[in-house]
Amino acid sequence: MSHKITTLVYSRKAGSAHRKAVLAYFADRASDDGTGIWASKKTIADEIECGRSTVVRICNDFVYEGLIFATGTRKCANGATVEYALNLAAIRALEEVKTDPKPSRSGTSPDQDPSHSGTPPVPQRDAKPSHSGTSPNRDPSRSGTPPVPQRDAKPSRSGTQTTSQPPLNQDTNVSLFQNDVSKHFEDFWEAYPHRDGKKTKRPDAEKAFRKAISGGATVRQIALGVEALHRDPDVARGYGRGPVPWLNQQGWTDEIPEIPKSNTTTGGHHGSRNSGAGERIQRIISAAAEGSSGQDWG
């Protein structure tokens, strides 16, 4: 436990009671340099009395905002858990909690002249000489006492060097870096069956896509959902949803029945599964099946 970091966290606004509770929990278990924090999401949820999904979401948000970062993993009873470190510079940059000044014990305000309070002034004592024989205001470099060497910062309790790792969704292992998510979205945008071939509201779609990835959706799930749209009768008739509402409504979870194979090679909209978009989707699914889901769309 680091009293210094705990005091820092409680002096800053975190955005909500649950976010403050998780950040304070991390500070309570950190070293003075902010490293060496490990605990399962279930343990954190039980101790601060909230849901595990809430803790997972807040940890992902903190990683994305740069307040914490992963430094490695720790073995535990159920396998392994992520070890974190606090970004102290980012926490100091948060908005401070404003507090009212405490009244003085004499009953007067801090700005009031003590001579008007009716309390006699306290005489000031002379400063005590230091043990080195020099006055308090004397330059210590001239006292003849050698300076005390500064200690190096304490290493992490894990014994490993603290290194910054890419931000990941801790449940799906999907990269949350701006460039990675943008690459995933580019493939999604090209493969999605836009109504009448018109591609509109791209900025809103990218925002919804990023929200879906941060919320726990995997690249494979979204790719399979887009593939299913190519056999959706509503899409074939031109009544399909645009990419923004489809992402916001988690369209990849919709159940779309399989159609007979004899109809998949006929004309109409279903034939588009053999087009460039269909081939792109198949490469995405193949890459995900080989373990690259969440890292590369293929």
pLDDT of residue 175 exceeding 70, the answer is no
Give the C-alpha distances (Å, rounded to integers) separating 5 from 23, 83, 84, 104, 197. Answer: 10, 17, 14, 28, 54
pTM of the full structure? 0.36
**Of 120 and 71, the one with more pLDDT:** 71
Per-residue tokens: 295: 């890292």
Average pLDDT over residues 16-36: 91
Q: Which domains does the chain have, with CATH numbers?
A: 3-92 (1.10.10.10), 178-292 (no CATH)
Contact 202, 230 (CB under 8 A): no
Average pLDDT over residues 238-267: 74
pLDDT tens-digit readout, 276-288: 555 666 666 555 4
Lowest-confidence segment of 32-41, 109-118, 164-173, 239-248 by average pLDDT = 164-173
For residue 69, what are the β-bridge partners? 85
**Of 39 and 131, the one with more pLDDT:** 39
pLDDT of residue 191 exceeding 70, the answer is yes
Contact 286, 220 (CB under 8 A): no
- Report the distance separating Cα 138 and Cα 135, nearest Å: 5
Residue 174 Rama label (left phi>0; alpha psi -120 to 50; beta): beta
Please report, rounded to a whole number, the percentage of residues in the chain having pLDDT higher than 90: 27
Q: What is the pLDDT of residue 129?
A: 58
Q: What is the pLDDT of residue 95?
A: 92
Q: What is the pLDDT of residue 100?
A: 72
Average of per-residue pLDDT values in the chain: 75
